[in-house]
Amino acid sequence: MRVFYSEDHKLRDAKTELHGGLLVTPFEGPFRAEWILEAVQKAGFTDVVAPENHGLETALKVHDAGYLTFLETCWDRWVAAGFEGEVIPTAFPYRRARQRVPNHIDGAVGYYANSVETSLTKGTYAAAISSMNVAISGADRLHAGNRFAFSLCRPPGHHAGIDLYGGYCFINNAAVAAQRLRDRGAGRIAILDVDFHHGNGTQDIFYRRGDVFFASLHGDPADAFPYFLGYADETGEGEGKGCNANYPMQSGTPWDVWSAALADALGRIKAFGAEAIVLSLGVDTFEQDPISFFKLKSPDFLGMGRMIAESGLPVLTVMEGGYGVPDIGLNVANVLLGLEGREA
Ligand SMILES: [Zn+2]
Amino acid at 133: N
User: From ligand 1's centre to the CA of 137, what distance in Å?
Assistant: 23
218 catalytic residue (yes or no): no
The per-residue pLDDT for 173 is: 99
Q: Assign residue 276 a region: left if phi > 0, alpha if psi is -120 to 50, beta otherwise? A: beta
What is the pLDDT at residue 288? 96
- Strands 189-193 vs 212-219: parallel, antiparallel or unpaired: parallel
Whole-angstrom Cα distance, residue 168 to residue 185?
31
pLDDT at site 62: 98
Ligand 1 centre from 104 Cα, in Å? 31
Neighbours of ion ligand 1 (CB under 5 A): 195-197, 282, 284, 321
Calculate the alpha carbon distances from 153 to 9, 50, 200 in Å.
8, 11, 18
Decide if pLDDT at 70 tops 90: yes
At residue 24, the pLDDT reads: 97
Residue 170 three-state SS? coil
Number of H helices and E strands in the chain, helices first, is 9, 10
Ligand 1 centroid to residue 199 C-alpha, Å: 8
List pLDDT tens digits, range 23-35: 999 999 999 999 9
Q: What is the pLDDT of residue 4?
A: 98
Is the per-residue pLDDT at 22 higher than 90? Answer: yes
Beta 315-319 vs 276-281: how paired, if at all?
parallel
Ligand 1 centroid to residue 57 C-alpha, Å: 27
Of the chain, the percentage scoring pLDDT greater than 90 comes to: 99
pLDDT value at residue 343 = 86
Say which of 9, 143, 158, 159 is annotated catalytic. Answer: 159
Q: What digits encode the pLDDT tens for the residues 231-262?
A: 999 999 999 999 999 999 999 999 999 999 99
pLDDT in tens, 42-56: 999 999 999 999 999
Please say whether the beta carbons of 91 and 107 come within 8 A. Answer: yes
* Model confidence pLDDT, tens digit, residues 276-309: 999 999 999 999 999 999 999 999 999 999 999 9
Q: Helix or strand or coil: residue 257?
A: helix
For residue 176, report the distance from its CA to the centre of ligand 1, in Å: 18
Q: Is the pLDDT of residue 344 over 90?
A: no
State pTM to two decimals.
0.98
| pLDDT, tens digit (0-9, with 9 covering 90-100), for 54-67 | 999 999 999 999 99
Nearest one of 116, 101, 106 to 82, comparing CA atoms: 106
pLDDT-derived band at 131 (thresholds 50, 70, 90) equals very high
pLDDT digit string, tens, across residues 196-229: 999 999 999 999 999 999 999 999 999 999 999 9
pLDDT of residue 296: 98
Average pLDDT over the chain reads 98
pLDDT of residue 236: 98
Confidence of residue 321 (pLDDT cuts 50, 70, 90): very high
DSSP characters for 174-220? HHHHHHHHHHTT-S-EEEEE-SSS--HHHHHHHTT-SSEEEEEEEE-
What is the 45 CA–ligand 1 centroid distance (Å)?
A: 24
Cα–Cα distance for residue pair 331/301, rounded to 1 Å: 6
> Kind of pairing, strands 276-281 and 17-19?
unpaired
With the C-alpha atoms ordered 157, 160, 165, 166, is the resulting torsion angle positive or negative? negative
